[in-house]
Each structure stands twice: as C-alpha cells, then as structure tokens.
Amino acid sequence: MKKFFGFILFFVVITCSAQVDELIKLNLNIKASETSPAIDGVINDDFWSKIPFVTNFKQTTPKPGQNPTYQTEVKLTYDDEALYVAARMYDNPDSMYVFLTERDQIGNSDFFFVTFNTYRDGINGEGLGITPSGVQFDTKYSNYEESISWDVVWETATTIDQKGWTAEYKIPWSALRFPEVEEQFWGINFGREIRRNRERSYWNFVDPTVDGFLTQTGTLTGIKNIKPPVRLFFFPYASAYVENNSANGSAFSNRQNIGMDVKYGINDAFTVDMTLIPDFGQARFDNQVLNLSQFEVEFNENRQFFTEGVELFNKAELFYSRRIGGTPFNQSTVFGQLDSLERVVNNPPQSQLLNATKLSGRTKDGLGIGVFNAVESEEFAEIENTETGEKRTFKTNTLTNYNVLVFDQVIRNNSFVTFTNTNVVRQGTNRDANVSQLDFQLADKKNKYAVSASGALSNQFENGEVNTGQKALAAFEKISGNLTYTLSHEIITDRFNPNDLGFQTLFNTQETYGYIRYQNYKPKKYFNFWRHDLDVTYSRIFKPDNFANLGASWSTVCGLKSFHAFGLNAGVEPIETFDFFETRTFDQYYAFPRNFWYGGFISTDYSRPFAFDIRFNNRVFDEVGRYNTGLYLSARIRPNDKLFFVLDFTRDQNENEVGYAITANRNTLNDDLIMGRRDIDVHISAITANYILNNKMALNLNLRHYWSTATYDKLYDLERDGSLAEIVFDEGKTIKI
C-alpha cells in the first residue's frame, strides 16, 4: 500500500513540475450596444451589419483540424439587459436535417450552440443551443459531465433561407452565473453540427485527443459594468387526486395538495431554490424489476426539483436524492408488529416532503458553495383488528432533516479540491448519520496527466453507539492523447456506510484497477473512428483480508463511414473466485466458477426513417449446463418529421445460476446458510411514442411490460470451502423460501 501511494506521489511531482505549452485560445472582444435587436431570426438588418463576425471554424469530428464542409459566422453584443448572439450557418437548405424534437432533445437535427466558462476553470459551464426548427436545448457542464435537466429562460428565433439557416439569441444576464467584477473575462466557444455528415466544428478548435471540453474554449472580453436585474420567481401549484383501492375496502379516496416553488438570485453568482409541500405526482414512473441480488435497486431521479442545479451536490457521489421523500424509514417493520388477528390496511409507500432548499453558486475566486436542506414528515401505517374492527397506527417514519454542504475550490490547471458533508437527523431514537469526503484532482498545464485522491468518513449514531467507517481512493491517469490509461486503488472498510443519504452497494473491499484505451479519431478507408479498451481488476475483502476476484475485459467500438456502428467485447475470470456478497455474510464465501463472456452490438444510422439496434451477450461457466444469455432488439421508426416510435424488446436468461436462498434454523453445522440453483427468465417489452406539435409542445406515450420468473430447482448447504452440498429431503419434507 505504501509503495502504491509513493508511486502516485512520484507522478504528482513529475506532472506538476512539467513545463508544457498552453492550449491555443482565440480571443473575442465585444462592445456594448445602445439599442437591442428584434429577436426574429433575421440577421441581415442594420443592427447586426455594424458588428463584426468571427468565423474559421475547425472540425472536431470526423476530420479533426480540417475546415468544415460549410462555414459559420457568429456575432456578439450586449446591453444592460442581455447578451445577444447572431449566427449564420451556411448550407444547402434542401439537405439540412431540420427534424422537430422535444426541448433539450437534439435527435437527428442540425444545431448551433454557444458555450460559456464564465469562471475560466475548465470544469464548470453552460451551453445554450438551437436547431433550425427552433428547438432549444440548454446544458450545465460540471466536472466533464453534462446535465440537460438544467433549464433557463432565454429567447431565440431561427430562419431557413437559400444560404442555409440563421439563429438569434437573447440571453438575459439572469440566465448566467458570473463573477461580480467590473470587467468580465470568460471562456467562450461556438459549435455547430451538420448532422447528415456527423460533422462537429468549433470556433476555438476542440482537439478530441485533449481531455476536457471547457478547457479548450476561447476568451471573451469587453463586457463591463453589468447590473443584472432581480431574479425572483414564484411558481404556485395545486393538485388533486381521486384513487380507488379495493385492498382497504374503500371505493374511492381523494387528496389535495397546494404548494409553491421559489427561485431567488441573491447576487450575480448565487441562487436559492425552494419548494414548499411539493407534489411530484407528475414525475415519470420507475421501471420496476425483480431483484434477487444482495443490493437494493438504484432508481433514476425524475423529480424536477432534484434534477436541476444539483451538479455541485453530486460531485462526491454521496447524494442520492431518492432517499428524500422515499420509502419510510421503518415501513417494512410494521408487519413484525401484527398479532394473529391484525392486518395492515394502509401503509404509505412514500414519505411527504415538507420543504427543501438549495443554495448554490461560485465566488469570483472560484470557490463553489452549495447548501441543501430538506425536511420530511412523519408517516403512520394503519392497522385493523379483523374481529373487532378496531384500528391503531404505527409510526413508520419520524420527522427527518437531510442536509448537504459542499465547498468546491477550483485551482490552476483545471484542477479542484472538494469537501462534501451529508447529514441526516431523525427525531427520537432512530438512527442519525453523518458522512464527510475530501476529493482532489491535479492536472498538468497541458491537461495530459492527472492524479486524484479521495478520503471519506461515515458515522452512524444509534442507541448510544457510533458506527464509523472509512473509504480511500488514489489514482494516476493519462487523460489526453490517442492512448489514455488509469491505475487506481480503492479501500472501503467493513463499516463504511453512506446510504442514509447516499447510494453505495460495495463495501468491505479493496480493489486495484487498471484501464487502457486507444482511440483513433481520424477517418480511414472504411471507418470514421474506432477505439479499443482493456481493463483488469483485482479485488480482496478488507476484513478478513481474503482474495475475492480477478478479471479482465476487452471491448472494441467502430463507427463506419456509412454512420452505422458495431462493437465487440469479451472478458474472463480465469480462476475460481470467492463471492462473499451473495452469501450475505463475510464469514462465508461461495466459490464462484471460472467463466468467460462475449457480446456485441450493431447500431444503424439513426437519421434514416427506419433504424435498429441489436445487442447480445453470453456468459459461459466452467460448470455443466450453466450460462447467462441476453438479447436486446430496438426499432426506431420515423414516419414523418413530427412522429417518432421506439419499440424495445429484451430477453435475459440465467440457466442453473447459483444464488442465496434462505437462512433457516435447521440445526446443521453450516450456519443454516442455504443456497439455491435457479433459472431466471426476464422479458421486457416497451413502446415509446412522441408526436411533436411544434418546437415548444409535444405529446409522449410510454408503455412497458415486464415479466420475470425465478424457479429454484435444488437447494444446497454451503460448505466452509465454498462448495455446495445438495440437500436431499425426505418425502413430504419442505423448506419455506
């Protein structure tokens, strides 16, 4: 372990002391305007004729560094109210892709966009884009990730003419976050995609071999003495539901809810978002699955308040917002409180969120600050005596406060240091929890090499006792170039548990991981690009220190000049490994057999009226009759520019799989741990339909049918060496699972 951290320290010194050239950055200096343009998509009027344009875009794909097929011209100006952008995209109007899509969904349309890195940190920024048909998309960039859930209010217009198409933006100052200084100095870039050629080009060249999109922006100067207006928005709402629930004998029940969302801009950089007694009934449903694993299922967040502006809170991956307003803390324990004559007639599946507040922003020195707080109400299950009809309640959730605090300091060379703390306080004697984590990443001036590390401490307080756990990670990476690689080592102790407000499945492990990728970005005879990936993982259980797993995998992805793509992958676990997780106890392991797997995919050109995807995989074990196989089929049908269908089918089969069955009191020498051999069959069919009315309205339909079975054929005692001993029952004897 000491040698590994010494290796990391050596490369920190080497990379941080290297003398390298800065990335080339173009400069754009703009001047204020005394008047403002009419946002109508027409840019050949007198207003824009007085403003110079920038051009000479360069391709990023498919031919990095070369001139694009058609050039683009962009103009910028500003006044006290907003920043204005005008763009001319030269093209053949008969060949352009102008399909209508939903907001924030580009689909197969051409588009133009502008990117801002207002703090010039190379990590955090915003992107605002438009398609020829006038569909807006806005994106928040954070730590090399994009979030389309970020939405702002801005004005656009587009026009298609014989020269191609044009776009106009009006971006109110209230839509952007920037330092409170006399003169702004921002990172900026303009991009455009000609979809039929898969051609992406930028004003300031973005080299695909260099890590980081925002590290390769140009510079914007000339904006002075900006005084943004007050940013205060109120969003009241009301909802009503009528439900029929035959389980409790009631024909109908109803409920009503009134609440409000508030957004307030404290200053240029900091914003407060609040929601009071929210109703998330309009959120998209979760895709339910049969879960036989030892881990809970992680669901996507579909509630708008928790998807917008949470990039800072999620940076350390300690914040799983579905914990808030989720399943009551003690919901499942209610059934252990029943006597033989009682039944549960009402057990709320979710806790009511009373209020939630987010404060986030960044100072002029690059310090990002985020504070999140939410309060969840008490919940009660209703229990009825089946003989007397008498009813009583059982508390399944106490008044709970959730809090997240983040400090994220950007430092030179696109590096950062982040501290995150999460805290959960429950009323009464229920468990409280606190988790703190420190992360940092250091990159060299050319953004070619980076070292990173993190350390976390979790504490759970219950019944006067404290349960403390730790986690640590160190990594060295080559992050730019055709050849990139990673070497990392992570330790998670047996008591580390961030799951009161976070989501983490693995614990009590130590893992060494190596990864290497070679990617070609320049087109060859038949291919637009290809890449090869190879990774190797070696893991052990932390306590007791035992070998757990050794595996390697390889994959190849190729993009053809016809815009079809295909990929192949394979992997192997060459020796018998020890699965301590399937047994649900670290005192005993299941000896997992040697195995290998292979698979691949084919994806056709999405711009055609009919396209399809095929994915397949197969896993073969060193065990007679045992295998896993999967098949995914998807058809994409576009009858016209407004109507779009996606038909999906998935079939997964696990034959003769071995998994945990039950812990039963049988007075045996094997701690009563019983494993089962089972066949699992999963069928999923889904239909998604979209009808786009215009660039601001759409109708959506989602249908999903899920069917899954798990059939146990044999039961086994698990021996101390991880092998299985079949249980033979006398006739008429059974074990309830």
Kindly give the residue spans of alpha helices, DSSP state H, lying in 482-601. none
CB-neighbour burial class of residue 410 (10 A; exposed 0-12, middle 13-18, buried 19+): buried
- At CA 260, angle to CA 255 and CA 265, rounded to 5? 165
The per-residue pLDDT for 352 is 87
Half-sphere exposure of 682 (CA within 13 A, CB side): 17
Q: Return the sign of the alpha-carbon dihedral for residues 41, 46, 50, 55.
A: positive
Residue 266: both structure tokens together: 């404290």
DSSP assignments along 670-721, one per residue: STTEEEEEEEEEEEEEEEEEEEEEETTEEEEEEEEEEEEEEEEEEEEEEPTT
Residue 704: both structure tokens together: 């999903």
Dist CA 200 CA 110 (whole Å): 10
Cross-strand pairs, 469: 458
The per-residue pLDDT for 282 is 58
CB 48 within 8 A of CB 74: no
Longest dimension (CA), the chain: 95
The per-residue pLDDT for 296 is 87
The per-residue pLDDT for 389 is 87
The per-residue pLDDT for 337 is 80
- Residues lower than pLDDT 70 in the chain: 1-24, 143-144, 228-229, 239-256, 279-284, 665-671, 730-737
Dist CA 209 CA 482 (whole Å): 6
The per-residue pLDDT for 250 is 45
Dist CA 54 CA 205 (whole Å): 13
Closest-CA residue to 700 (of 41, 70, 296, 105): 105
Q: How far apart, in Å, are the Cα atoms of 512 and each of 121, 442, 497? A: 31, 20, 21
CB 308 within 8 A of CB 152: no
CB 623 within 8 A of CB 656: yes
Q: How far apart, in Å, are the Cα atoms of 707 and each of 397, 609, 679, 681, 683? A: 32, 30, 14, 8, 5
CB 673 within 8 A of CB 583: yes
Closest-CA residue to 321 (of 503, 57, 480): 503
Residue 625: both structure tokens together: 């009759």
Q: How far apart, in Å, are the Cα atoms of 395 and each of 188, 332, 398, 478, 544? A: 54, 11, 7, 53, 38
End-to-end CA distance of the chain: 43
The per-residue pLDDT for 731 is 61
CB 77 within 8 A of CB 32: yes
For the entire predicted model, the pTM comes to 0.86
The per-residue pLDDT for 696 is 84
Q: Reply yes or no: is the peptide bond before residue 62 cis, omega within 30 of 0.
A: yes
- At CA 308, angle to CA 101 and CA 359, rounded to 5? 155
Cross-strand pairs, 454: 439, 473
Residue 417: both structure tokens together: 């240091």
Extents of the domains making up the chain = 31-221, 229-267+269-430
Determine the 3-state secondary structure of 357 from DSSP. Answer: strand
DSSP character at residue 262:
E
The per-residue pLDDT for 345 is 85
- H or E element, residue 5: helix 2-17
Q: Return the sign of the alpha-carbon dihedral for residues 305, 306, 307, 311.
A: positive
Residue 583: both structure tokens together: 């047994």
Dist CA 426 CA 114 (whole Å): 45
- E strands, 40-81, are 58-61, 72-78
CB-neighbour burial class of residue 417 (10 A; exposed 0-12, middle 13-18, buried 19+): middle
DSSP character at residue 32:
B
Instruction: Spell out the CATH class of 31-221.
Output: mainly beta
Burial string for 18-55 (b: 16+ CB within 10 Å, else e) reads eeeeebebbebebeeeeeebebebbbeeebbeebeebe
Dist CA 13 CA 2 (whole Å): 17
